[in-house]
Amino acid sequence: MVDRKEVDALLPLPAATFHILMALADQDRHGYAIIQDVAQRTGGALKLSAGTLYRSIQRMLEQGLLIETRDRPDPHEDDERRRYYRITSLGTAVARAEARRLSELVRMARACGLAPRLI
Amino acid sequence: MTLYDLLLRLYPASFRHEYGEEMRALFARARRDASGVGIVTLWVSAIAEIVGNAAAVHADILRQDVFYTGRVLRRSPGFALTAALIVALGIGATTAAFSVTDFVLLRPLPFPEPERLVTVVERTPGYDQMELSGPNYRDWKAAATSFESIGIYHGDELTVFGAAEPRRWRGVSVSADLLPTLGVAPIIGRGFTAADDRQDAPGTILLSYRLWQTEFGGDPAIVGRALSAQADFDAAVFTVIGVMPREFRFPNANIQFWITNRFGPGHYAERERTNNWLNGVGRLKRGVSLAQARAEMDLIAAQSEQAHPVANKNTRAAVDPLSDDVSERSRLLLVALSGASACVLLIACANLANLLLTRALARRRELAVRTAIGAGRERLVRQLMTESLLLAVVGGALGIGIAVAAVPLLAQLVPPNLPIAAAPSVDMRVLLFAVALTVATGLSFGMAPVLRAGRNPDLDGLRDGARAGDARKERLRSILVVSEIVASIVLLVAAGLLIRALLAVQAIDPGFDTEGVLTMRTDLPMPEYKTVARREAYYASVLGGVRALPGVTSAAFVSFLPISSFRGGIWPVSVKGDAEASTDVRTANNSAAIRYVTPGFFRTMSTPLKRGRDIESADTRDRPFVAVVSESFVTRYFPDQDPIGRHFTFAYADREIVGVAGDVRFRGLERKSEPQVYLSSQQVADGAVTFYAPKALAIRTTGDPGRLAPVVRELIHRADPKLPITDLQTLSDMIDLETSSRTVQVRVLAGFATIAFVLAAVGIHGLLSFAVSQRTQEIGVRLALGAQSGDILAMVLTRAIGLTIAGVVPGVFLAYAAGRSMEALLAGVPAADPATMASAVVLAAVMTVAGALAPTLRALRVDPITALRSE
């Protein structure tokens, strides 16, 4: 079970962290794949730089949001140098909590007329 | 790719090892995809990105390390507190010492281009620096080409009327070009012009910022105000023409005003050529070196000697940097202070290195575990450095607090005769010094355990737990102990020598009895008090009243009291019609100090009359001129003869010796004075040598002299309400003031020595305690095998004594060298003073042996079985 306090302590998430969690939500990825996934998801608006990516990853590993995984995908696709990352249950919980926090914000903004109403 | 590799070096090694490879691969891919301008953009963004991210990664690690350190230190608050306090004492002492030394010796004088400012005076046999005479000043200035300008000044005082009681101000009289030479202009109003400095010019005055604030409430309309005042020789009106800047203090911080010399032909007359009373300040032309200026002035002085072979005999010029106007003693004292503080810091660092070494040993297991779970050597080193730096920063902050508190005490070591503020303040410069010192301290004492951690990345720590270190560490610790002993011996000896010197100075007989005497000074405005009759009437009125007061046993007036603000007054003596003295040229061999007195001076001061009689009221101007001389006068001029009835020429007249008095230290306790001649206040021509007309009053009472003050003030006021009363104090206060700088020196150095001694004692005890505790088991084994407690004790003591000897021998040599270099401060106490040396050695030995003994006795009480079981 994930500790609620532990989750709350990490919020709000830096944008890069949230994006990395989203990129890893469905599958394990290596660094370059994360960058590509984020770029694709945001329509090219956010291109993570290598420095930002690995600094975020280092911090996320220390915080326990990710682990480095030893399970490799199909050996044909694999590149020896690559490290693969997998989201942890804490990572999932934190990403969910952040999404909740953001939608709550949007709901409030909508009530003030600062965001378009849902039809 | 090399540039990218270089960029990656900005990251901590741990990060680089972990992610460098992948980042390089990512960059290579991006580089392949880019072309043309894209390549440039790629590089620019890569550089910006890596610089920013690397800094952030470093900051992350620092934050973690600080957090971890905080937790570690909170777990051992005793260690943290001890370490921080040790740093605080070291940094505090050094910063305080630096603030004073920097203030007096290092920082440039507060004038524009101060390096071009020099003092220009005369140099005669026996006097390295002798003021200029009027004619020499005029001639030399006209001939010199090395200077942009040369100005002169001399001390002056004014009695200013207008308030209920007349005020006495201290200032200087200057030539119009002095302030421009210094490069300073008034903040309001104007400076002096040549027109203000002519003989018949109306009086003009510049006020000090402080005087303007205290006396005139900072009145912005002060310029143009006319002050009714009395200078020594003329009553006059002085018009305020301006106010000098707040930070302008020349020649020293006590100066309240500046007026012009207004010299006339009389000041430059030929007979004035041996009247040395003017201080010269010159500004060298750009590109002219001090040596060039000296060479030129020597030539000019030599020519001057040829032109005036008698008056300028052996007279040379002395040109020295204005910033060198710090006496050798003050300089030495501050150097000693800095040395002492460096010793304290050294001991503090040795202690901390020890403390951290011991701790690192105790933490071997923790560090080994951290290594085992993957912390790289670099991270461990960083962590250890962060710990020592954090301790240093906390200690440094405390230390700055200590320095701020200590500086007012040390301020008394600032010599009073410099154009700087009376007390230094802890400013940016000092703070920067303290910060640099803190970082250096943290790095240096942090290095010891770091080197250790760096050298042994193996897992020994896991195997044998927190057991004693190897022989090499043992040696390092011994070296630290020995260096602490050395430093504390040097400090103990230095402080001991100064204490001996203070005692020696306090034991010096000034030639009079300081207890029960009240003294004060009144200026006598000159046209009015020019005649002997007028002055005698005033003396009679005041002395008559004072002598009638209950408890007063005697009272008298004198030109200047011993050890007061004016200590000179050296005139040539001619016994056998010596050519030089009869033409009014004084040399070191024919001079004596002149003092006019009223009858009863010797009784009042309790100065013994060894032979003959005192000056009497019957010694009037129509009687033969008489003199009482000091014993040293007799020794110099009438050795092995009966001096009574002998004659000599002095102060324009033939004098007959009627009495011999004991020597008095007019120049101060620590300096032998010239022989003294006392003359009758009545035996002088009207209007002649009025500078020496008795104006200082001394009253001996059986009661508390301080309580007489209001009554005497009233008596003087009744005799003449225009007279300002200054320098009201008891003779014993005057003497205390004289020794106060020495008392402060002793306190400061003794304070440093105490701190050093305590630090060293704590350090040595801690160290030996640790060493013994590491050997508890060995001791247990030895006891179990039948060794006697005495054997064990002897073993430990042998080592402690060995350490003591290793520290004492170089310590004594260094202390002797330190003592020799500060000999000028020691008032004759020899640097190798056996009592001081012996005390320091004994103290150091006791400190070391006691430090070793206590833990050993503890170890001996341990049951051998328990000691062995802990294995």
Residue corresponding to tokens 């260094």: B814
The pair of three-digit structure tokens given for residue B338, joined into one six-digit string: 């800095």
If you compute the radius of gyration of chain A from its CA atoms, what whole number of angstroms results?
A: 16
Torsion sign, CA atoms B443, B445, B446, B451: positive
Q: What's the pLDDT score for residue B585? A: 60
Bond prior to B424 in cis (omega within 30° of 0): no
Taking CB atoms and an 8 Å cutoff, what residues of chain A touch B27?
50
Determine contact: B5 vs chain A, CB below 8 A: no
b/e code B317-334 from CB counts within 10 Å (16+ = b): bbbeebbebbeeebbbbb
Q: What's the pLDDT score for residue B586? A: 61
Q: What's the pLDDT score for residue B459? A: 46
- The CA distance from B50 to the nearest CA of chain A, in Å, is 6
The span from the CA of B104 to the CA of B324, in Å, is 10
Determine contact: A36 vs chain B, CB below 8 A: no
Contact across the interface for A52 and B57, Cβ inside 8 Å: no
Determine contact: B463 vs chain A, CB below 8 A: no
Determine contact: A40 vs chain B, CB below 8 A: no
Q: How many CB atoms lie within 10 A of CB B557?
A: 26
How are strands ordered across the β-sheet holding A29-30? A29-30, A84-87, A66-69
If you compute the radius of gyration of chain B from its CA atoms, what whole number of angstroms results?
A: 36
The span from the CA of B605 to the CA of B556, in Å, is 9
Q: Across residues A80-89, what is the average pLDDT? A: 82
Q: What's the pLDDT score for residue B222? A: 93
Interface predicted TM-score of the whole assembly (ipTM), two decimals:
0.83
Q: What's the pLDDT score for residue B558? A: 95
Determine contact: A54 vs chain B, CB below 8 A: yes
Report helix, strand or coil for B560: coil
Determine contact: A9 vs chain B, CB below 8 A: no
Bond prior to B251 in cis (omega within 30° of 0): yes
- The CA distance from B22 to the nearest CA of chain A, in Å, is 7
pTM: 0.74
Q: What's the pLDDT score for residue B457? A: 46
The pair of three-digit structure tokens given for residue B659, joined into one six-digit string: 């009495």
Q: What's the pLDDT score for residue B234? A: 66
The span from the CA of B91 to the CA of B434, in Å, is 7
- Type and span of the H or E element at B124: strand B117-124
Task: Write out pLDDT tens, residues A22-74.
Answer: 999 988 998 889 999 999 989 888 888 888 899 999 889 988 999 988 766 65
The span from the CA of B34 to the CA of B41, in Å, is 9
Cβ B282 vs Cβ B153: under 8 Å: no
Q: What's the pLDDT score for residue B467? A: 46
Q: Among B1, B8, B22, B57, which would you mutate to test the A interface (most chain A Cβ atoms within 10 Å of its Cβ)?
A: B22
Torsion sign, CA atoms B97, B102, B106, B110: negative
Residue B833: φ, ψ to 5°: -45, 110
Q: What's the pLDDT score for residue B361? A: 73
Taking CB atoms and an 8 Å cutoff, what residues of chain B touch A59?
60
Q: How many CB atoms lie within 10 A of CB B241?
A: 23
How far CA B548 is from CA of B353, B440, B539, B542, B701, in Å, comes to 72, 69, 14, 10, 11
- Domain regions of chain A by residue span: 4-111
Q: How many CB atoms lie within 10 A of CB B373?
A: 7
Q: How many CB atoms lie within 10 A of CB B752?
A: 26
What are the helix (H) ranges across B76-177? Answer: 77-101, 134-143
The span from the CA of B163 to the CA of B806, in Å, is 70
**CATH assignment, A4-111:** 1.10.10.10
Residue corresponding to tokens 């962290």: A17
* Pairing assessment for the beta strands B203-207 and B235-243 based on DSSP bridges: parallel
* Pairing assessment for the beta strands B591-597 and B676-680 based on DSSP bridges: parallel
Task: Write out pLDDT tens, residues B556-606.
Answer: 999 999 988 777 777 888 887 555 555 556 666 778 899 999 999 999 999
Taking CB atoms and an 8 Å cutoff, what residues of chain B touch A29?
none
Q: Which residue has the higher pLDDT, B410 or A100?
A: A100
Taking CB atoms and an 8 Å cutoff, what residues of chain A touch B26?
31-32, 35, 50, 53
Q: Across residues A74-82, what is the average pLDDT? A: 59
Q: What's the pLDDT score for residue B600? A: 94
Which residue in A50, A57, A82 is closest to B27 by CB distance? Answer: A50
Determine contact: B56 vs chain A, CB below 8 A: yes
Q: Among A17, A54, A57, A78, which would you mutate to test the B interface (most chain B Cβ atoms within 10 Å of its Cβ)?
A: A54
The span from the CA of B784 to the CA of B781, in Å, is 5
Which residue in B25, B53, B60 is closest to A51 by CB distance? Answer: B53
Cβ B723 vs Cβ B523: under 8 Å: yes
Q: What's the pLDDT score for residue B541? A: 94
The pair of three-digit structure tokens given for residue B651, joined into one six-digit string: 């102060």
The span from the CA of B353 to the CA of B446, in Å, is 7
Taking CB atoms and an 8 Å cutoff, what residues of chain B touch A55?
15, 53, 56-57, 60
Nearest to B171, CA basis, from B140, B139, B215 = B215
Number of residues in chain A: 119
Which amino acid appears at position B192 of this protein?
Answer: F
Cβ B89 vs Cβ B350: under 8 Å: no
The pair of three-digit structure tokens given for residue B20, joined into one six-digit string: 């460098």
Contact across the interface for B56 and A82, Cβ inside 8 Å: no
Report helix, strand or coil for A116: coil
Q: How many CB atoms lie within 10 A of CB B541?
A: 15
Contact across the interface for B19 and A57, Cβ inside 8 Å: yes
Low-confidence spans in chain B with pLDDT less than 70: 1, 163-164, 232-235, 374-375, 448-474, 577-588, 862, 864, 866-871
Determine contact: B417 vs chain A, CB below 8 A: no
Contact across the interface for B49 and A49, Cβ inside 8 Å: yes
Cα B535 from chain centroid (whole Å)? 42
Contact across the interface for B22 and A52, Cβ inside 8 Å: no
Contact across the interface for B45 and A49, Cβ inside 8 Å: yes
Q: Among A32, A36, A47, A49, which would you mutate to test the B interface (most chain B Cβ atoms within 10 Å of its Cβ)?
A: A49
Nearest to B116, CA basis, from B252, B258, B319 = B319
The span from the CA of B333 to the CA of B342, in Å, is 14
Determine contact: B50 vs chain A, CB below 8 A: yes
Contact across the interface for A51 and B26, Cβ inside 8 Å: no
Taking CB atoms and an 8 Å cutoff, what residues of chain A touch B54?
51
The pair of three-digit structure tokens given for residue B11, joined into one six-digit string: 């990251």
- The CA distance from B12 to the nearest CA of chain A, in Å, is 11
The span from the CA of B321 to the CA of B121, in Å, is 12
Q: What's the pLDDT score for residue B628? A: 96
